[in-house]
Structure 1
């Protein structure tokens, strides 16, 4: 078996720490997910943790950034071939419904932001955490509307969908599902501002 390079070994360590953090925070919440517990369950020392991350907040920012980027990549592949506007909306609504069954991502973001505000560590990295994610999906959604006729810019369009997907109380309560809310929002905009039939 080939010996791992230093870069490969560090990447594997980081991946294991991220996977451990994901499991620990799902079980313990942000405050309960200590550096010691995350490192221990990944099979490493605290030293290995701090050689990859500046602290718990840095780790969870990285985890959320990675997850957000993976969402955009997945949606580009899922929605890219679709040319029918209503089929695109249905497909995205179903994706949002499936994602909403795991509310831990939205809860993690809220806990992280609350911690950063309380400890005066909230900065540009926090405030821009989801901007690329929102804009990435929003650029796809612009296809639903004639050029220059969209009701909002790409960041707002994508933000509406992701906020409903990861931040909706409907994940916990009876009533309209997340998928239904996303479909209502997008269909209303499409009927008011979009084109009938196919999207370009």
Structure 2
């Protein structure tokens, strides 16, 4: 008779394939970020992304069905990092001499505006303008981000004793449109647009604050 050997599956055994898959996804996202920025979303192929990341097509399709699904994962990763940073930075604004100015400075320091990311988002927006399924990706993403930012703005306003003249969702929509336009401008502009970004956003936010009536 052969001895009966027990087969014990440990947590380490279970987690190891998961960690490998997560590492593969991260490398694919890094490769996609650079490839989309250099070649554009439409021109970049799955093969191009895999080649940059050192993977086969099989590795790609084991994680993503399409390039659009890959892009959605990329955008989620990048914006989640920014939102986590914003949530951290908006704490303690009530202690600032000028909470609005401090809030604008902190938000602008958190949300990325480098050329690579600006190119990727702009390229995909053009793609989405011609493809309804891609437009749905952006719409769904904007709704989720808008909701998260709305909660942060409402919390910040309550802590700082501020009241806005419009709903947080509308203020965020206006700020997003403003910053998106300046981001596109930055792709061809000469000089640094950061001072303009700050001035424009601070003016918008200050204009949306309800001021108590002055006493005669």
Give the secondary structure class of the aligned counterpart of 2:99.
helix
Moved more, 119-128 or 54-63: 119-128
Partner of residue 154 from structure 1, selected from 164, 168, 178 = 168
Question: Matches of 1:103 and 1:159 in 2, distance apart?
Answer: 22
Q: Which position in structure 2 is the counterpart of 1:198?
A: none
Deviation for aligned residue 1:194: 5.2
Question: Matches of 2:162 and 2:202 in 1, distance apart?
Answer: 22
Output aligned runs, 1:143-182, within 5 Å.
143-144=156-157, 149-168=163-182, 169-171=184-186, 172-173=188-189, 177-182=196-201
Would you say how many aligned residue pairs link Structure 1 and Structure 2? 193
| RMSD between aligned residues | 3.1
Query: Scaled by the length of structure 1, what TM-score is found?
Result: 0.78
Q: Which position in structure 2 is the counterpart of 1:140?
A: 152
Unaligned runs of 5+ in 1: 196-200
Judged with a 3 Å threshold, the aligned counterparts in structure 2 of structure 1 residues 10 and 110 are, in CA distance, closer, same or farther, namely: same
Judged with a 3 Å threshold, the aligned counterparts in structure 2 of structure 1 residues 75 and 112 are, in CA distance, closer, same or farther, namely: same
Structure with the bigger RCO (C-alpha within 8 Å, sep 6+) is 1
Query: Scaled by the length of structure 2, what TM-score is found?
Result: 0.73
Judged with a 3 Å threshold, the aligned counterparts in structure 2 of structure 1 residues 122 and 24 are, in CA distance, closer, same or farther, namely: closer
Q: Which position in structure 1 is the counterpart of 2:91?
A: 80
1:183 and 2:202 correspond: yes
Q: Deviations over 1:41-91 (max 9, x none)?
A: 111001100111111111111111222222211101011122147334334
Q: Which position in structure 1 is the counterpart of 2:130?
A: 118
1:130 and 2:149 correspond: no
Question: Matches of 1:90 and 1:30 in 2, distance apart?
Answer: 36
Question: Matches of 2:211 and 2:80 in 1, distance apart?
Answer: 27
Output aligned runs, 1:84-123, within 5 Å.
84=96, 86-93=98-105, 95-96=107-108, 99=111, 101-122=113-134
Is 2:28–2:49's contact at 8 Å kept on the other side of the alignment?
Answer: yes
Deviation for aligned residue 1:123: 5.8
Deviation for aligned residue 1:118: 2.2
Q: Which position in structure 1 is the counterpart of 2:54?
A: 43
Deviation for aligned residue 1:12: 0.5
